[in-house]
């Protein structure tokens, strides 16, 4: 068998989204299968990629240029759907993060960061990218804080 077809996602190397050109995040089949509706379960190679660009409708794609869009998902995922929870495991939303910023606290974000280290975090199946949401949460917090300080008080 051609080695190219039995590679693990980790050694496939980077692949760019066929629509927007963003660098894809390698995901295992367990991850994307958990996110897409059942009728799309056979739609991609096991080793697929997540497109992280929020404005792009492609969620997953593979090296054969097959794509799965947001309409094929079981539910909206961040950042494709800005109203979807930032964290698939614990349901932290952008509203929660904004509430922290508004109140000048980090209660909700800190709570999430704590939980994310525990056994309740199941990013492999609960996160669309298969990765921890911690980076997204921190980025969103910084962005929201900057947006707040830009506004005249």
27, 48 Cβ separation under 8 angstroms: yes
Site membership for Zn ion, residue 58 (CB under 5 A):
yes
The shares of helix, strand and coil residues in the chain, as percent rounded to the nearest 5, are: 40, 10, 50
28, 129 Cβ separation under 8 angstroms: no
Q: Give residues 38-57 in contact with Zn ion (rule: CB under 5 A).
A: 51, 53, 56
Q: How far apart are CA 121 and CA 125, in angstroms?
A: 10
Q: How far is the CB of 82 from Zn ion (least distance, A)?
A: 16
Site membership for Zn ion, residue 17 (CB under 5 A):
yes
Q: Between 91 and 130, how does the x/- string for binding to Zn ion read (CB under 5 A)?
A: ----------------------------------------
Site membership for Zn ion, residue 20 (CB under 5 A):
yes
Alpha-carbon distance values, 23 to 19, 39, 85, 94, 106 (Å): 11, 26, 23, 24, 31
Cβ proximity to Zn ion, 22 vs 132, nearer residue: 22
Q: Which residues of the chain form contacts with Zn ion (CB under 5 A)?
A: 17, 19-20, 22, 51, 53, 56, 58
């Amino acid at each position: 068998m051609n080695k190219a077809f039995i590679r693990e996602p980790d050694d496939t190397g980077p692949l760019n989204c066929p629509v927007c050109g963003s660098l894809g995040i390698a995901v295992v089949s367990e991850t994307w299968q958990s996110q897409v509706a059942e009728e799309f379960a056979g739609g991609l190679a096991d080793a697929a990629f997540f497109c992280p660009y929020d404005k792009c409708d492609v969620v997953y794609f593979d090296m054969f240029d097959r794509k799965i869009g947001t309409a094929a998902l079981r539910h909206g995922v961040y950042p494709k759907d800005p109203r979807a929870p930032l964290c698939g495991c614990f349901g932290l939303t952008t509203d929660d993060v904004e509430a922290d910023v508004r109140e000048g606290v980090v209660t909700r974000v800190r709570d999430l960061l704590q939980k994310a280290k525990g056994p309740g975090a199941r990013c492999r199946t609960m996160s669309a990218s298969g990765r921890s949401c911690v980076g997204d949460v921190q980025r969103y917090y910084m962005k929201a804080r900057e947006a707040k300080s830009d506004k005249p008080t």
